[in-house]
Amino acid sequence: MCGIVGAIRAHANVVDFLTDGLKRLEYRGYDSSGIAVYSESEQKIKRVRRVGRVALMEEAVKQKGLTGHIGIGHTRWATHGGVTEPNAHPHISGGLISVVHNGIIENFEAERTRLEALGYEFESQTDTEVIAHSVRHEYENNGKDLYRAVQTACSRFHGAFAIAVICHDDPAHMVVARMGCPLLVAFGDEEVFIASDVSAVIAFTRKVTYLEDGDIALLSANGIDMLLDKNGDKTERAVKTSELSLASLELGGYSHFMQKEIYEQPKAVADTAEIFLDGGFVPENFGEHAPEIFSKIKSIKILACGTSYYSALTGKYWLESIARIRTDVEIASEYRYRDVIADPDELIITTSQSGETLDTMEALKYAQAQGHECSLSICNVLESALPRASTLAIYTRAGAEIGVASTKAFTTQLVILFGLAVTLGKLRGHVSDDELTGYADDLRQLPGSIQHALNLEPQLAVWAKEFATKPSALYLGRGIHYPIALEGALKLKELTYIHAEAYPAGELKHGPLALVDENMPVVVIAPNDKLLDKVKANMQEVGARGGELFVLSDLDSDFAETDGVHVIRTPRHIGVLSPIVHTIAVQLLSYHVALVRGTDVDKPRNLAKSVTVE
Ligand code: AGP
C-alpha cells in the first residue's frame, strides 16, 4: 500500500533519490504517485503528481526540471477519494506546508469540518489534506514553529499514520511522525533520508533508525536534530545496519519477481530450516522468554490474513499431531470484532510476511487487551510492527518478497510452524529422539524435494494453457493438503482473475459438485497419505459428472493418466512436509496461467503487497 520517501541532501539533488525510492516501493501496490521539492531558484515548493506508474511521474519531473535539496514523495493506494491527480500526494496547504502520509486519519471528517469553518479550502477528497491544513493552521497561529505545529496537529488525529512534512519557510528541515505505520530515518554523509520501507533507501545508505509509535523527529542534513517519544520526552533510537541485499530487489535475469521468488524457495527454505538444523529444536529460537512461555501454554490461537492464514491452517495440523497442542486458526479481521474469551495460557501467534498487515496487528492488540499475555510473531520483515508488538518473535529467512502474490514467505512460514510443532512436541514429551532425528532429516531433504518440484514446470505450463481458457476452477485437498488447495485457488484468483474455489474433497457432494462439468477444471492435491483412498473416491464423483481432473501427486500413489484425468507426480514421496512441496506446483500453475492470459504477474489489479488499511 502507500509508500513514503523523503530526503534532505546538503550537496545533492534529492529528486534522484525520491524517484528511485518510489520505484523501489512500487511492489507494495499503488495507483498514483508524486513528489514535492523546495526549489531554491524559484523559492517555492514545487510538486508533480501523476495517476499510474511512477515512470510517468518521473517523466513529468524531468520535463519540469524539478531540483532541490529537500523533498518528499509518495505512492498512493486510494482509500479516501478516487484515483485522481488532485487526490495524489504530496498535499500542499497555501504553498507553505507540504505533506505525505501513510495510513488513515479516522476522524478526518470532523477535522475537515473544523478546518473548513476556519476558512481552509480543500482541493481533494483525502484524509491527508486535513494534515496539511491542520499543520499550517498551527504553524501560522502558534509561533511559526514547524515541529510544534506537527506535534499539536498530530495530537488531534485518531488512527494509524506516518507522515513527513516540509515547510516553505525552512527548507533545511523536515518533520516526521509515526503512529502505527512504519517509518524509518536513514543516514548518509550530510544527507538524511526517510522511508516507510528500508528497500527505498539501501541503494543510498544502510544506516537506519526505525522510529517507534508516537515518535516525532526534526531532521536536517546532519541527521536527527530532535526526537521526542509519545510522552513528549527526549529520546534516541538505535542506528542499525540493514542487511537487505540490493540484488534481492532486482530481477536478476528473471522475467518476474514472482518467478524469481518461486525459484528462490530451495534456498529460502534451507536458510529458514537452518534455524532448527543448526540451533536444534529448542524454545530459545523463538526468543529469550520462550522457554518459560512454552512450558506454561495449554493451547494456541493463530491470527493471520490471506496466504499467511493458509500457512497457519497448515501449521495447525502439525501442531496438533506432532505437539498434541490444541490449535485454533482465525482470520484476523474477524477475530478483532468478535467477543473473544481470553485465556492467559493460550499462546497467540500471528503469521505475516510484511509484519504490518493492519487487520493482523489490530487482532493482536485486541487479543492483548482482552488478557492474552503471550504472543509470538512469525514474520519475514525485520523490525516490522508485529514482531515488535509481540512477546516472542522468529523471522523467516525468505529475503525480500516483492511479488504481490506471496510465495517464498508462505513456504518459509510453513518451515517455522513445522519447527515450532517439533519444538513443542519435544518439550511436551510427544516426540521421541528417533522421531526428532527423522524430522530433522525431513527438513534437510526439503530443499532438494522443492528443487524436484520446480523441475515439473514444463508439465504445469502445458496444463496452464487449458486453465487459461476456463472461467473458473476448483481445487480439492484433504487433511493437511486442504490448506494447500486453498492457497492454490487464491494464487489462481490473484494472478489470473479466474474464479477459483477450494474445498476439502469430502465436502464436494454437499454442494460444489453441482458446479462440475467439462468446463470446470478440478485440481486435486492427492499425495500418498492416509486419506488417498478417500480422495480417489471423491475424484470418481468428479469423473462421473464429466469433470476434468488435474491431479498433483507423488511417485508411489499409482494414478493412471486416462481420458479426463491428467497426473503430475513429484519425483519422490515427501512425507510429513508434503504440503510444502505441493505448494510449488500450485504456484507454478498459476504463474503460467497468468503468462498465457497476459495479466500483470507482480502487481495484480486492485491488490497491494502490504495491506496497511482496514
Ligand atoms: C498473498 O498472495 C496475498 N497477496 C495476501 O493474501 C497476503 O498474504 C495477506 O495480505 C497477508 O499479508 P501478510 O502476510 O503480509 O500479513
Residues 19-49: tens digit of each pLDDT: 999 999 988 878 899 999 999 999 999 999 9
308 Cβ inside 6 Å of ligand 1:
yes
Q: Ligand 1, residues 303, 307, 350: which to mutate, most atoms within 8 A of Cβ? A: 307
CATH number of 257-453: 3.40.50.10490
Confirm whether 167 is a catalytic residue. Answer: no
Ligand 1 atom at minimal distance to the Cα of residue 381? 15
Task: State the CB neighbour count (10 A cutoff) for residue 246.
Answer: 12
Which class does domain 457-597 fall in? alpha beta
Question: 2 catalytic, yes or no?
Answer: yes
Say whether pLDDT at 436 is over 90.
Answer: yes
Choose the residue to mutate in 197, 256, 262, 305 for probing ligand 1, maximizing ligand atoms within 8 Å of C-beta: 305
Residue 214 has phi, psi (to 5 degrees) of: 95, -10
Ligand 1 atom at minimal distance to the Cα of residue 611:
10
- Grid cell 488513515 — which residue? 104
Q: Decide whether 257-453 matches 457-597 in CATH topology.
A: yes
Determine if ligand 1 sits within 6 Å of the CB of residue 306.
yes
pLDDT at res. 493: 97
Residue 332 has pLDDT above 80, yes or no: yes
Name the residue at shortest CA distance from atom 16 of ligand 1.
352
The Å distance, Cα 377 to ligand 1 centre, comes to 15
CATH topology (fold) of 2-244 = Glutamine Phosphoribosylpyrophosphate, subunit 1, domain 1 (3.60.20)
Which residues in 359-471 belong to E strands, given as ranges? Answer: 374-379, 392-395
- Non-local CB neighbours of 554 within 8 Å, separated by 6+ positions: 527, 528, 569, 570, 572, 573, 574, 578
Q: Which of 46, 316, 408, 609 is catalytic?
A: 609
The per-residue b/e assignment along 136-172, b for 16 or more CB within 10 angstroms, e otherwise, is bbbbeeeeeebbebbbbbbeebebbbbbbbbbeebbe
Residue 546, pLDDT score: 83
Q: Taking the model in full, what pTM does it have?
A: 0.83
Cβ contact 584:574 at 8 Å: no
Q: Is 611 in the pocket of ligand 1 (CB under 6 A)?
A: yes
For the residues 577-602, what does the mean pLDDT come to?
96
* C-beta of residue 115 within 8 angstroms of C-beta of residue 130: yes
| Ligand 1 atom index nearest CA of 404 | 4
Instruction: Report phi then psi at 97, rounded to 5.
Output: -120, 135
Average pLDDT of the segment spanning 73-100: 93
Distance (Å, rounded) from C-alpha 358 to C-alpha 361? 5
Closest C-alpha to 440, from 458, 428, 465, 423: 423
Q: pLDDT tens across 237-264, in order?
A: 999 998 887 887 888 889 999 999 999 9
Q: What is the pLDDT of residue 564?
A: 86
Ligand 1 pocket member 419 (CB < 6 A): no
Domain map (residue ranges) of the chain: 2-244, 257-453, 457-597
Give the gyration radius of the chain's Cα atoms. Answer: 26
Q: What percent of the chain has pLDDT over 70?
A: 100
Ligand 1 pocket, 386 CB below 6 A?
no
